[in-house]
Structure 1
Amino acid sequence: MDFARCITLENSRVRLRPLEATDFEDLKRVIFDPELWQFSSIPYPVDAVGLAAYLTKAAQDRAQGIRYPFAIIDRATGRVVGSTSYGSFALADKRLEIGWTWLGKDFQRTGLNRAAKHLLLKYAFGELGCERVELKADALNQKSREAMRRMGATEEGILRSHMVTQSGRRRDSVYFSILKPEWDQLRQTVFQEFDARG
């Protein structure tokens, strides 16, 4: 994984590109909703200072090879409406995690999340040669758990008392995965509308 590379991915609904400090103004429109951060393990940005810190941390994580954060751009409006990342890299074992994902409230349940996941899965299994992609959610986050099931991820189990949320609560994390042999089938079913293959 080349963290210095500017990875840009695109399908009919969404464009993903590296998250940048210049995304500040677009993100101001969508990021300050406390509901978005209810299950988060990081403090949610409540103001401009928090947003600047969020963007700085994302840039630091990328520079250190910990996480590769993307801006989620709604192609219909051209606006940055959220973010998602690759992380938890174990490339020697041909696996990574897709996570740190959020979308502004008005863009949830519109197909944008699934479109973004299509791009990230396609790149992970294709360009990066992964055999396994992991996803996880707070066990209490039924909306995220259902979204992962609907996109064909297999629920594997719960890690108890796994992380501390931004509110100080110790959360149980539910792990999901998609394996490379499952990807071709999912491309033809769940992600068919985004996949340009003939």
Structure 2
Amino acid sequence: MSWSEKIAATLENEYVRLTPIAEADREGVRAVALDPEIWRYFTVVVGDDADFEAFFDSNLAEHAAGRRAVFVITDKASGRIAGSMSLLSLAEKDRRLEIGASWLGHDFRGKGINHWAKQLLLTHAFETLAAERVEFKTDVLNQQARKGLRNIGATEEGTLRSFNYMPGGRRRDAVFYSVLRAEWQAVSAALAAGPKKAAVSA
């Protein structure tokens, strides 16, 4: 089976459930997305309802076209939508993909949700899709995201300078991280230990 037939699956563990984005998610996502802090380091800004409609419609279209797999994250403890993550930059021939477009609403930060959601997506990538490389990128200024990536065992690879424009015209330096198949067994074991124990030397 090709990635397109396997990639958009429901993924869950004790803490979170990730489901492929659907129209029915629109209002639940809106309830947490209208927070300017989320978009500080994003290449898009969701500042009002018009921005949100364009953002959500774009996510639906990208998912439907198979250009990326967009997942909605539900926090099992509260039953509420917490945010979203995607599998993108899909290069099936080279067994390479990216986990990105990751964000959480204000009430769901610092509670391990990012950790458990990324554990599910990494497991899906390596064990279902048989990926050889999973990569991540973030703004070099986003210290919180960089710490989070180190904490899940991703290795920092380097910075691509002046990578892209940000809202307002700033040119972003993008720092790349990755987990390779040869590292997955150790990373997986560390992730299973939980957010406070997961840091792997990178």
**Gapped regions of structure 2 (runs ≥ 5):** 196-202
Partner of 1:166: 167
Higher mean C-alpha deviation, range 1-10 or range 117-126: 1-10
1:3 Cα deviation from its structure 2 partner: 6.0
Partner of 1:81: 82
Partner of 2:123: 122
Counterpart selection for 1:22 from 24, 39, 51 = 24
Deviations 1:47-75 (A, max 9, x none): 22222211110111112221111001101
Give % identity.
42
1:91 Cα deviation from its structure 2 partner: 1.0
Q: Which amino acid aligns with 2:4?
A: D
Conserved? CA contact 2:125–2:134, under 8 Å: yes
Does residue 113 in structure 1 map to residue 102 in structure 2? Answer: no
Q: How far, CA to CA, are the matches of 1:169 and 1:3 in structure 2?
A: 38
Dislocated runs of 4+, deviation >3 Å: 3-6
Secondary structure of residue in 2 paired with 1:188: helix
Does residue 68 in structure 1 map to residue 74 in structure 2? Answer: no
TM-score by length of 2: 0.90
Conserved? CA contact 1:3–1:65, under 8 Å: no
Deviations 1:134-178 (A, max 9, x none): 001000000000000011000000000001112321100000000
Q: How far, CA to CA, are the matches of 2:7 and 2:111 in structure 1?
A: 29
Q: How many pairs are equivalent? A: 193
Q: Which amino acid aligns with 1:132?
A: R
1:5 Cα deviation from its structure 2 partner: 6.8
Higher mean C-alpha deviation, range 1-10 or range 78-87: 1-10
Secondary structure of residue in 1 paired with 2:128: coil
Secondary structure of residue in 1 paired with 2:191: coil
Change (3 A) 1:6 1:149: closer
